[in-house]
């Protein structure tokens, strides 16, 4: 029974279509004698379901020996800014308001239990896309969050 549950969970994780982030740059915040320094990393990703929306995330990354080995838990600190980079094309499911917060990006921030997520909401009344980033754990999440809104406007150059 446990084996079947675990396999189903793995298959579900593989089938999710989340955006992949590209690292834009980083700055060191704390010098570590052994291992990489603590830093703030800036990454960009394109919304996988909405053409021509790009989001930029800055997040804390823990260094040191544990951080270098991938064993450290990053803090829940993150910021987000999303922009329209061309004509936005919404699919019918989003326009109809059938999505109540779709996860568009996930990044592990600890070995197993913690992840940073970006969730997209559609505000039809104001014709805007709203992106919320937050960190959660298997048992206990964090109230720290950041928000960015993208008005859906005609694209002109």
What mean pLDDT comes out for the span 131-152? 87
Residue 113 has pLDDT above 90, yes or no: no
* pTM of the predicted model as reported, rounded to 2 decimal places: 0.78
Within 8 A by CB and 6+ apart from 47, the residues are 19, 53, 54, 55, 82, 104, 120, 129
**Residue 132, SS3 per DSSP:** strand
Q: How far is CA 31 from the centre of its chain?
A: 26
151 vs 140 pLDDT, higher one: 151
Which tokens sit at 151? 């008005």
Residue 139 has pLDDT above 70, yes or no: no
Mean pLDDT of the chain: 82
Residue 133 has pLDDT above 90, yes or no: yes
Q: With beta carbons less than 8 A apart as the criterion, state whether 104 and 47 touch.
A: yes
Rg (CA), the chain: 17
Which tokens sit at 149? 């809104």
Output the pLDDT for position 13. Answer: 43
What's the pLDDT tens digit per position in 9-51?
443 444 456 788 899 999 988 888 888 888 999 999 999 999 9
Question: What is the band of 93 on the pLDDT scale with cuts at 50, 70, 90?
Answer: confident
What's the pLDDT tens digit per position in 70-85?
777 788 889 999 999 9
Name the residue ranges covered by the structural domains of the chain: 22-151
In the chain, the percentage of residues whose pLDDT exceeds 90 is: 38
Output the pLDDT for position 15. Answer: 41
């Amino acid at each position: 029974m446990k084996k079947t549950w675990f396999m189903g969970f793995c298959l579900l994780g593989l089938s999710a279509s989340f955006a992949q982030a590209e690292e834009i740059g980083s700055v060191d915040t704390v010098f570590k004698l052994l291992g990489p320094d603590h830093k703030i990393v800036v990454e960009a990703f394109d919304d996988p379901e909405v053409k021509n929306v790009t989001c930029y995330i800055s997040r804390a990354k823990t260094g040191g020996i544990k951080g270098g080995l991938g064993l450290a838990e990053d803090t829940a600190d993150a910021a987000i800014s999303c922009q329209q980079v061309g004509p936005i094309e919404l699919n019918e499911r989003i326009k109809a308001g059938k999505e109540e917060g779709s996860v568009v990006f996930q990044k592990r921030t600890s070995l197993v239990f913690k992840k940073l997520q970006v969730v997209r909401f559609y505000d039809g009344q104001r014709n805007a896309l709203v992106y919320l980033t937050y960190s959660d754990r298997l048992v206990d999440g964090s109230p720290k969050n950041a928000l960015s809104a993208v008005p859906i406007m005609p694209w002109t150059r």
